[in-house]
């Protein structure tokens, strides 16, 4: 069994987004668990997770009712932050996004280990829904392509090639729509957890 990762006071303070003196004040009163090694304190990773889940400090906080990731402020002089997965401990910097709802999608670990139950199924359903709802747009695109290329309806390879081309051209719009819908879905999941 691997030993739990231990952090110095300064490292714990940076992760939690608080001043090292705050950590030093918390340790003797038991607000955060730690182990004294000689004159130095070491804080186990699980103690940082406990603080993050409790929401008792400003730098790291549960970012949703799903508790799938922690938001970690980069440093005291910056608004930069990263997320740390509550499942695997992986840390990542989120991509810029629009609005509060998109913030929920940024919490998904790049490894995908902290996706809420049903996430992949919902995402696949939405991709298919967009394609189904835009089939008429594809048919118009196909008709224009056939006319421009002098093709007829009998060549299934041509239709598949045009569909692939169309899907590449519409990828950005599809991704934006699916992201927006998934953000709403995640908000609903959080509301459902809060009501339980």
pLDDT at 190 over 70: yes
Burial class of residue 127, CB neighbours in 10 A (0-12, 13-18, 19+): middle
The string of pLDDT tens digits covering residues 128-159 is: 999 999 999 999 999 999 989 888 767 888 99
pLDDT at 174 over 70: yes
The whole-number pLDDT of residue 153 equals 66
Burial class of residue 32, CB neighbours in 10 A (0-12, 13-18, 19+): buried
The string of pLDDT tens digits covering residues 17-33 is: 777 888 888 888 888 88
The string of pLDDT tens digits covering residues 80-94 is: 567 777 677 777 776
pLDDT at 13 over 90: no
pTM (2 d.p.):
0.57
Please tell me which residue, 106 or 102, carries the higher pLDDT value: 106
**Average pLDDT value for the chain:** 78
Rounded CA-CA distance 135/11 in Å is: 53
């Amino acid at each position: 069994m691997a030993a739990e990762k231990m952090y110095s006071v300064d490292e714990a303070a940076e992760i939690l987004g608080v001043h090292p003196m705050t950590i030093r004040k918390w340790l003797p009163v038991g607000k955060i668990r730690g182990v004294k090694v000689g004159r130095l304190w070491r804080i186990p990773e699980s103690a940082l997770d406990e603080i993050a889940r409790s929401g008792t400090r400003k730098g790291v906080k549960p970012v949703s009712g799903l508790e799938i990731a922690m938001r970690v402020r980069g440093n005291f002089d910056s608004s930069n932050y990263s997320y740390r997965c509550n499942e695997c401990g992986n840390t990542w910097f989120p991509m810029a996004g629009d609005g509060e709802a998109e913030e929920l999608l940024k919490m998904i670990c790049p490894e995908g280990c902290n996706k809420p139950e049903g996430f992949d199924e919902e995402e696949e359903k939405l991709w298919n829904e967009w394609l189904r709802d835009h089939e008429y747009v594809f048919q118009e695109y196909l008709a224009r392509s056939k006319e421009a290329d002098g093709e007829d309806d009998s060549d299934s390879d041509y239709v598949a090639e045009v569909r692939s081309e169309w899907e590449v051209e519409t990828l950005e719009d599809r991704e934006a729509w699916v992201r927006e819908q998934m953000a709403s879905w995640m908000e609903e999941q959080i509301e459902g957890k809060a009501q339980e």
